[in-house]
């Protein structure tokens, strides 16, 4: 369970922001991850040339900036399944593991954009190693971590009366960190990992055309790929159907049904088989999530995942803006 508390204020900066956040993470389930208390983000955001160019720099969480993993608007509610593994393998920073980065987004017009990032990579040994070696998040780097370069062109139009919201994007990341080669694990570490992805989301029905055009039903998909010789998760597929403000009495609530398929890299699978471990070559799950907007800045999500039978995950997330 984590409790991020981001805050932002103008401080007289025209069309810019300074963003500072902290996070406390505590797990009662050991495999969940290491406990930590540290920064969530320290960032400076600024626009130029009539908002044609957007700059964001500092200790960033690129999980929220790239790959379209958060489509819940200002609330930042994630309706997706868990594509995080394949992105974290590539070194992408996230809420419990922010890293130094500089992001630039160029808006060709109101819909077409291209976004690039130069980011200090997460540890090539994984998310758990990153947090263990840098729990505060303030260290400039961790052992064997290099630079992650990201590029994402996209097309996004906001919902308007009679105009459905559409978001199409594709991206690639290249990382020069020192990774262990899963095909030849006894050889010296290899470099040049990568990840590739495409995603699309479309508003299928507007439930309140004149009042709030973003309310309605949406559909989308994501596909991700990473090379099998350096990554334990090689492919990820997702189909999603979700709704924003489906009920008039709950205009800020969200509902999502997500089907996912995660494919493990063949070298990782063969290595596990050689050791006599029980393995699966892929994992399929169907989950349903209801996210309730309880009060300004407070969202509660309840998720049921069919893959794990009767397991019920309850997440409470609190954000304070000042």
CA distance 2 to 266: 33
Residue pLDDT, tens place only, 70-88 = 654 333 344 444 456 899 9
CA atoms of 243 and 71, how far apart (whole Å): 11
pLDDT, one tens digit for every residue, the chain (322 residues): 444 444 444 455 788 899 998 888 888 877 677 889 999 999 999 999 999 999 999 999 999 899 987 654 333 344 444 456 899 999 999 988 999 999 999 999 999 999 999 999 999 999 889 999 999 999 998 999 999 999 999 999 999 999 999 999 999 999 999 999 999 988 889 888 999 999 999 999 999 888 899 999 999 999 999 999 999 999 999 999 999 998 888 888 889 888 889 999 988 888 888 887 877 888 888 888 888 877 776 666 666 666 544 445 555 544 444 4
225: CATH: 2.40.160
Structurally, the chain folds into a number of domains equal to 1
Other C-beta atoms within 10 Å of 9: how many? Answer: 12
pLDDT at residue number 161? 93
Domain that holds residue 214: 5-318
Segments of the chain assigned E as strands: 5-9, 16-25, 36-48, 53-60, 99-107, 112-120, 147-157, 166-175, 193-206, 216-225, 233-244, 254-264, 282-295, 298-305, 312-318
pTM tops 0.75: yes
């Amino acid at each position: 369970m984590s409790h991020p508390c981001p805050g932002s204020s103008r401080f007289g900066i025209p069309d810019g922001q300074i963003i500072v956040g902290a996070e406390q993470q505590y797990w009662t389930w050991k495999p969940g991850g290491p406990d930590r208390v540290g920064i969530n983000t320290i960032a400076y955001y600024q626009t130029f040339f009539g908002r044609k160019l957007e700059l964001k720099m500092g200790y960033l969480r690129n999980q929220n900036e790239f790959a379209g993993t958060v489509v819940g608007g200002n609330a930042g509610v994630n309706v997706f399944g868990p594509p995080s593994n394949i992105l974290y393998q590539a070194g992408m920073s996230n809420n419990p593991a922010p890293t130094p980065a500089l992001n630039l987004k160029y808006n060709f017009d109101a819909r077409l954009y291209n976004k690039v990032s130069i980011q200090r990579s997460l540890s090539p040994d994984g998310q758990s190693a990153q947090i263990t070696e840098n729990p505060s998040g303030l260290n400039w780097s961790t052992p064997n971590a290099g630079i992650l370069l990201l590029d994402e062109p996209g097309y996004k139009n906001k919902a308007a009366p009679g105009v459905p919201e559409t978001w199409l994007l594709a991206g690639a990341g290249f990382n020069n960190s020192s990774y262990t080669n899963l095909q030849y694990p006894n050889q010296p570490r290899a470099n040049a990992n990568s990840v590739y992805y495409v995603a699309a989301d479309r508003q299928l029905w507007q439930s309140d055309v004149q009042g709030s055009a973003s309310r309605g039903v949406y559909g989308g998909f994501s596909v991700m790929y990473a090379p099998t010789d350096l990554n334990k998760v090689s492919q990820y597929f997702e189909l999603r159907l979700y709704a924003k403000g489906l009920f008039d009495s709950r205009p800020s609530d969200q509902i999502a049904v997500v089907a996912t398929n995660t494919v493990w890299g063949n070298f990782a699978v063969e290595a596990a088989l050689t050791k006599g471990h029980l393995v699966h070559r892929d994992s399929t799950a169907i989950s349903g999530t209801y996210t309730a907007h309880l009060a300004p800045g407070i969202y509660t999500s309840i998720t049921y995942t069919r893959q794990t039978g009767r397991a019920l995950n309850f997440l409470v997330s609190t954000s304070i803006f000042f």
